[in-house]
Amino acid sequence: MDFRIPGGVEALRARAAAFVDEELIPLEADRANYDPHENIAPEPLARMRARAKELGLWAPQAPRERGGLGLPMTARAVLYEEANRAIFGPVCLNCAAPDDGNISVLAKVGTEAQQDRWMQPVIDGAVRSAFAMTEPHPGGGSDPSMIRTTAERRGDAYVVRGRKWYITGAAEAAHFILVARTSDDARAGLTAFLFHADQPGWRIVRRIGIMGPEEHGGHCELEFDGLEIPAENVLIGEGRGLKLTQTRLGPARLTHCMRWLGLARRCVDIARAYAAEREGFGVRLIDRESIQMMLGGLAMDIETGRLLTMKAAWEIDRGGFARKEVSMAKIHVANLLHRAADTAIQINGARGYSTDTPLEWIYRYARQARLVDGADEVHRMVLNRELGAAGDAFFGWPVGE
């Protein structure tokens, strides 16, 4: 067994670490660099994206021949964690959700023509994208079989009617992947489509207010009232929407874990720095055993998350679905992120609750981690199903040559 990473990946990691420490962390310290929704403002974003391109850190997930780094998941695990020690790191490298997952899935299943039209501009950073699946009650949320938005075939096109909500980035996205119902078939009833924001027949009903900072373009409720999508914009074929969803969401969940590990490390860094200088009752905080237990516990939980994430990444790189590995990583890292932000705020006292550090930003952001891309309970349900189906084999090791 070999836990070492290749020298080339270490070189990338070191370059990303320097970019984060020297350029992104100083930038995020100045609130003038934030937009009204607490994300990075357009001007510094454009500047930092240009820097990421110069440094060879741009679009780690995209194929090399299309201007990306073409990294496997194991290398992305290393790079994304490093990038998200800064809260704006991933968007500056073009590996933030939802563009990251949309590029990855289009690279995997899109036709050459679909990749040229829908994926390349997202890789280039010329447009943003969104993935529209979740619906208001009584439509599909945790359970995609409940999706009610319909796409009815009429000649060479499909006509879409229905509602979606919490669609990240929708207010600024140009390219959308939409999952809609094309039949009542339990397994083959859903189909994935591509559409452009400029097409008529849909609208943003509202940008939904949330407790945390927002991705660019917010989280929107959408209404479809006769959007026409040409048949050539169906992804991987009619009736294969569930397959598309699984292909996109497994790896996308894992990339969330990669990024959240970086945010958790940042929380620990901020807590350690304060504890090392702050004194009370004649003792430095860092010299108190109670504080040492908090920091030591977090360090162990981060390392556990890295091992779960890396094992799932390795499984995906060798062609597996990594369903149970991704579910375990997702539950663990989402909860770890929440705990890391909470503990770091506690150690920082009033300063932790202020906007003088990014801890309160991370804390508010972290709460969604336990809900999005599968709530903890849904992933535990999946794990229990896998355990029931596989029995002892659930705990089997893959066997080498």
Ligand X SMILES: Cc1cc2nc3c(=O)[nH]c(=O)nc-3n(C[C@H](O)[C@H](O)[C@H](O)COP(=O)(O)OP(=O)(O)OC[C@H]3O[C@@H](n4cnc5c(N)ncnc54)[C@H](O)[C@@H]3O)c2cc1C
- Kindly give the interhelix angle for 289-317 and 241-277, rounded to the nearest 10 degrees: 150
Please state the closest distance from residue 32 (CB atom) to ligand X, in A.
25
366: left (phi over 0), alpha (psi -120 to 50) or beta: alpha
Tell which positions 298-327 bind ligand X, by CB under 6 A.
Answer: none
Among 102, 129, 168, 255, binds ligand X (CB under 6 A): 168
Residue placing its CB nearer to ligand X in the complex, 84 or 168: 168
For position 250 contacting ligand X by CB under 6 A, the verdict is: no
Residue of this chain nearest to ligand X (CB atom): 141
For residue 154, what are the CA distances in angstroms to 179, 229, 233?
A: 18, 10, 14
Residue of 224, 134, 122, 208 whose CA lies nearest to 171: 208
Residue placing its CB nearer to ligand X in the complex, 91 or 275: 91
For position 60 contacting ligand X by CB under 6 A, the verdict is: no
Please state the closest distance from residue 369 (CB atom) to ligand X, in A.
9
Residue placing its CB nearer to ligand X in the complex, 81 or 215: 215
Token reading at 278: 């702050």
Residue placing its CB nearer to ligand X in the complex, 76 or 253: 253
Q: Which amino acid is it at 43?
A: E
For position 159 contacting ligand X by CB under 6 A, the verdict is: no
3-class DSSP state for residue 297?
Answer: helix
Show the site string, 80-119: x = touches ligand X by CB under 6 A, - = not. ------------------x---------------------
CA distance 335 to 374: 13
Query: Rounded to an integer, what is the distance from CA 331 to the centroid of its chain?
Result: 14
Please state the closest distance from residue 304 (CB atom) to ligand X, in A.
23
Residue placing its CB nearer to ligand X in the complex, 229 or 285: 229
Say how many residues touch ligand X, by CB under 6 A.
20
3-class DSSP state for residue 211?
Answer: coil
Please state the closest distance from residue 249 (CB atom) to ligand X, in A.
9
Please state the closest distance from residue 373 (CB atom) to ligand X, in A.
6
Q: Which residue is associated with the tokens 């699984």?
A: 246
For position 222 contacting ligand X by CB under 6 A, the verdict is: no
CA distance 248 to 178: 12
For position 358 contacting ligand X by CB under 6 A, the verdict is: no
3-state helix, strand, coil in the chain (%, to 5): 55, 15, 30
Give the residues across from 273 on adjacent strands: none
Q: Which amino acid is it at 197?
A: A
Q: Which residues bind ligand X (CB under 6 A)?
A: 98, 131-134, 141-142, 166-168, 210, 219, 368, 371-373, 375, 377-378, 381
